Amino acid sequence: MTTNHHSSTDFIERSQALEELLQRLESLGFSDNEHLVRWRRTLPELARYRSSFSLPLTCIGPVKSGKSTLINTLAGADLLPTGAGITTSFPTTVSAGRTFSARIILQPETAVKQLFSRAVALLFSEQYSDHPPLLEEAAERQKISRLLDDYRDRGNLTRHGIFNESYRLLRNLIAGADQVLIYYRKGEVNFTISDPQDQRYRTFIRDEALSPYLQEVAIQAPLKLLPPYLSLRDLPGLDTPNPSHQGIIIQQVSESPALIYVISSRIGLRQADYQLLEHLRRLGLETRLLFVLNLDLDEHRDRAAAAAMAERCRNELHELGFTQPLFAFSALALHFSQVETAVLSQADRQRLQRWREEKEKLAFSESGARDFLDHLAELGRNEAATALIEHSEKRLRQIIGGALGLVRSEIERLQGSSRKLAADRSQRQEERKTLAKLLKEIEHIIDGACNETEKYCFTRTSRWIERRDDSGLLRKLAGIVQSYKPPLEQLPEKYRNPLTPIKIINNHFQLTIPPRLEETTTVETLRFMTDLQQEINQRLLDGCTPLFVICERFSGRENSGPQDLPLPVRIDLELPAFVMFSEVEKRFALIDRIREFTSLWSRKLWNRRQSAAELHGRQLIKETLRELPRWLSNYGEQLKYAYLRRHLEECRKLIGAFFSDLLAGSGRELECGEEKSAENREEINRRLQELEKLAVKLGQMKTEQNDQT
């Protein structure tokens, strides 16, 4: 594979050159040819897929480890915020582009309102027991702001960690409401900013108060130190308290072929690192980890000290069971090496001069940076990228070959007309009928293969969900529910409302169990779909193998083989959400909850604080286990009809277009045979000259395409 195969620019230039030839072919009387129309429509789609394709490299690590600084360094621009504290609280993607653009995606307004209501219920359930507050009402926000001030003054911020997160979430939601609600009123939840100096970009990226409103930020910019087929992701911590981010984070981390885990050399591995690494191990992602020790050159007196810190981190990682390479270098020094000294501040110039005087320490960092960049470039040659690139190149070759077949077929027809060779019209009509029957038979076989594959996929999906052993999704989710333990030790000693313990247990259950169910469902579904994709491809290949023999017998020449069947690299669709309750069910659940509270009251269990809470916890587990099969059944139906069926329909279209192209030359020959044989000789000669020129150029393009493989 040459470098050109990895170049989106080169591929676009070749596809544009081919499109110009197809335009000339249309002007010579092929404008009504359906194959030519489809090829012209396919070329820009292929170019767009190639130019937008990128392998995501996800940067993870604890707070203040240097993730955003590393991404800014690799991009060669100040794209992400850096500094003390938590600076990334929403997923951010940085990919290659000719110019800068940032796509801002806001959370759905309903999700933001649910976050707001849930946080208020956790902190101020007594004040809002009758009606939930409205985020869009300024008076409600002011009232809650005063309650937060009182909550802080009473010293409750650190009494319960979960309440502390709710306090910070409410503060941010209230502070950012005036700015973001304007976008919701206008219906602008997905918009693009093309100027990095635009104040809106700086506001949305750097204002912490707006972070709860953001779902994702996608940035395109020229990447100075990375190949264009690699992109970078900056995510919130895996322990983010925002439930709306947890599913996105888990899915993006699971899909990334490499996870760049950033460690700060100021401290080395911390307790937070051990917890995060153990969490990644439970998700089955430990083999994708790539470790970077972000050196602070001012913290280490010489090269030996920096090397000692790197060796210490390697040893600790080995003790934890991670044998992947660790690259030690300074992201800031790497950034300084890519910019002109004149644009640096006075303090940065002095720092750079000091590092240059310490040659051995700077050389140690530069060596680690080179190894790291070489390793990133090598990641682009994995099987997924190679499969996509080869698929686009193969499709381009097929279009070139099809166009060349059309041109040569037309040349032969014109030459036959000039020699006054007439074809047997009745025989050609029979052949056209045979071709029409053949196309219908091919369509029938493809439909049968796809329908059989769909039936198999639906059956396999249902069995996977309903299986009662350890490999079944139902068994795993039921285990999570059964493991729930109510936090009885956190119940307050005194409370005015006798139902307060039950409310606390209910809120604790909703904040712990549903996110874990959603996370486990997402991870297990991704694993299941990865295995199912290989079986789908093999079943479709087996079902369509006889079609190659049929096409070869009809056309009389060998066109292609089963290895050329254009099956997708992977299922490139968004997973459906695992929904537990609909809005109607939530209303009935509220009625049931009120009935349960009344029952507990009548039995006077409120005098026995722990008995009421324990009974309510067991009731929550029982209700969830009872409803779990129905939720999974609904989720399975979404996987089948909204996910797998869409993918199989795309496979059906790809395979149908592929075999239709194989017979395009034969169809054109039959069409040519039925045209009038008497044409003006001068017109025939002129068309022959044009077509021969096109044939030469297409032949050269085909040869160049084959030489690059």
The pLDDT of 323-338, averaged and rounded, is: 88
| Tokens standing for residue 671 | 């069409």
Determine phi and psi for 337, rounding to 5 degrees.
-70, -15
For residue 234, the tally of other CB atoms under 10 A from its CB is: 24
pLDDT of residue 303: 92
pLDDT of residue 421: 43
| Tokens standing for residue 72 | 């800014």
Q: Which helix or strand (DSSP H or E) is residue 219 part of?
A: strand 214-221
The pLDDT confidence band at residue 553, using thresholds 50, 70 and 90, is confident
Length of the chain: 709
pLDDT of residue 584: 41
| Tokens standing for residue 211 | 């972070």
How many helices (DSSP H) and strands (DSSP E) are in the chain? 22, 9
| Tokens standing for residue 192 | 């693009």
Q: Which helix or strand (DSSP H or E) is residue 430 part of?
A: helix 425-466
Angle at 32 between CA 27 and CA 38, to 5 degrees: 100
- Amino acid, res. 579: V
| Tokens standing for residue 181 | 């609600």
Domains along the sequence of the chain with CATH: 54-98+222-381 (3.40.50.300)
- Cβ neighbours of residue 596 under 8 Å, at least 6 residues apart? 616, 619
Res 313 pLDDT > 90: yes
Res 35 pLDDT > 80: no
pLDDT of residue 666: 62
Q: Considering the chain, what is the average pLDDT of its residues?
A: 78
pLDDT of residue 317: 93
| Tokens standing for residue 620 | 């929550």
The pLDDT confidence band at residue 363, using thresholds 50, 70 and 90, is very high
pLDDT tens column, 525-548: 888 888 888 888 888 888 888 877
For residue 700, the tally of other CB atoms under 10 A from its CB is: 10
What secondary structure does DSSP assign to 585-597, as a single string?
Answer: HHHHHHHHHHHHH
The pLDDT of 279-293, averaged and rounded, is: 86
Ramachandran quadrant class, 407 (left: phi over 0; alpha: psi -120 to 50; beta: rest)? alpha
Q: Decide: 313 and 268 in contact? Cβ < 8 Å.
A: yes
What secondary structure does DSSP assign to 259-278, as a single string?
Answer: EEEEEETTT-S-HHHHHHHH
- Cβ neighbours of residue 324 under 8 Å, at least 6 residues apart? 289, 290, 291, 317
Q: Decide: 241 and 169 in contact? Cβ < 8 Å.
A: yes
Rg (CA), the chain: 32
Q: What whole-number distance in Å separates Cα of residue 257 and Cα of residue 594?
A: 48
Nearest alpha-carbon partner for 21 in 669, 706, 696, 705: 696
Q: Decide: 674 and 428 in contact? Cβ < 8 Å.
A: yes
End-to-end CA gap in the chain: 6
Q: What whole-number distance in Å separates Cα of residue 362 and Cα of residue 369?
A: 11
Instruction: State how far Cα 621 lies from the chain centre.
Output: 33
Q: Please report, rounded to a whole number, the percentage of residues in the chain having pLDDT higher than 90.
A: 9
The pLDDT confidence band at residue 505, using thresholds 50, 70 and 90, is confident
Nearest alpha-carbon partner for 104 in 254, 235, 213: 213
pLDDT tens column, 611-661: 677 787 888 888 888 888 988 999 999 898 888 888 888 888 888 888 777
Four-CA torsion 599, 601, 607, 612, nearest 10 degrees? 40
Q: What whole-number distance in Å separates Cα of residue 229 and Cα of residue 388?
A: 11
The pLDDT of 221-227, averaged and rounded, is: 78
pLDDT of residue 306: 92
Res 513 pLDDT > 60: yes
Nearest alpha-carbon partner for 212 in 118, 337, 74: 118
Instruction: State how far Cα 222 lies from the chain centre.
Output: 21
Nearest alpha-carbon partner for 446 in 573, 567, 555: 567
